[in-house]
């Protein structure tokens, strides 16, 4: 098992020091999906959900949440995001969510991309939960990361 060099011996939480890192352009892409019944997907595609336009709301909620990641995740560094996009696609059994986040900063933006996906997913859930109680949020993960010293990364 990897031994972490910066570990506080007592295991106390702290924000890792990034002041020695260089500022560089960093990007992360995260994905996830909200699995639901076909009828619920139809409701969304026809924009007939009780609370209104589901996809527009999810997109905006995801973007806004990305900007507040450092408030929500205790040890995240605040970062000046230079771009956030949330894309939504209706599949056969799920709404597929992709979030892309970019910054020029001293640490990466995976958490921002994952937070955008998670809050977009919760917003979709909220807007159609009155008609579908069995929804599940699945497969929230980072699919691509670039910039920074730890090297680029990609997975499905």
Near a second copy in 69-98, by CB under 8 A: 70-88
124 closest CA partner among 41, 66, 68, 30: 41
Calpha distance 51→141 (Å, rounded): 28
148 binds a second copy (CB under 8 A): no
**Count of residues that interact with a second copy, criterion CB under 8 A:** 92
Dihedral sign for Cα atoms in the order 17, 113, 31, 14: positive
Residue with smaller CB distance to a second copy, 59 or 95: 59
The neighbouring-strand residues paired with 153 are 145
65 binds a second copy (CB under 8 A): yes
Shortest CB 95 distance to a second copy, Å: 14
Shortest CB 93 distance to a second copy, Å: 14
105 closest CA partner among 85, 76, 64: 76
48 binds a second copy (CB under 8 A): yes
Shortest CB 68 distance to a second copy, Å: 7
Q: Which of 17, 53, 92, 126 is catalytic?
A: 126
Site for a second copy in 8-47 (CB under 8 A): 8, 11-19, 25, 32, 39, 42-43, 47
Site for a second copy in 91-130 (CB under 8 A): 102-106, 110-111, 114-115, 118-119, 121-123, 125-127, 129-130
DSSP state of 47: T
Tokens of 120: 């977009």
Q: Count CA within 13 A, CB hemisphere, residue 31.
A: 11
Calpha distance 44→135 (Å, rounded): 14
Is 126 tagged catalytic? yes
């Amino acid at each position: 098992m990897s031994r972490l060099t910066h570990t506080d011996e007592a295991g106390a939480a702290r924000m890792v020091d990034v002041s020695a890192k260089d500022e560089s352009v960093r990007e992360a892409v995260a994905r996830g999906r909200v699995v639901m019944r076909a009828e619920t997907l139809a409701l969304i595609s026809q924009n007939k959900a009780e609370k209104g336009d589901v996809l527009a709301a999810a997109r905006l909620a995801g973007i806004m949440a990305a900007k507040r990641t450092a408030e929500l995740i205790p040890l995240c560094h605040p970062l000046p995001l230079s771009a956030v996009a949330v894309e939504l696609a209706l599949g056969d059994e799920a709404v597929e969510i992709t979030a892309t986040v970019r910054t020029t900063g001293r640490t990466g933006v995976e958490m921002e991309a994952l937070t955008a996906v998670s809050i977009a997913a919760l917003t979709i859930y909220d807007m159609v939960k009155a008609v579908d109680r069995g929804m599940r949020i699945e497969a929230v993960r980072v699919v691509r990361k670039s910039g920074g010293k730890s090297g680029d990364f990609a997975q499905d």
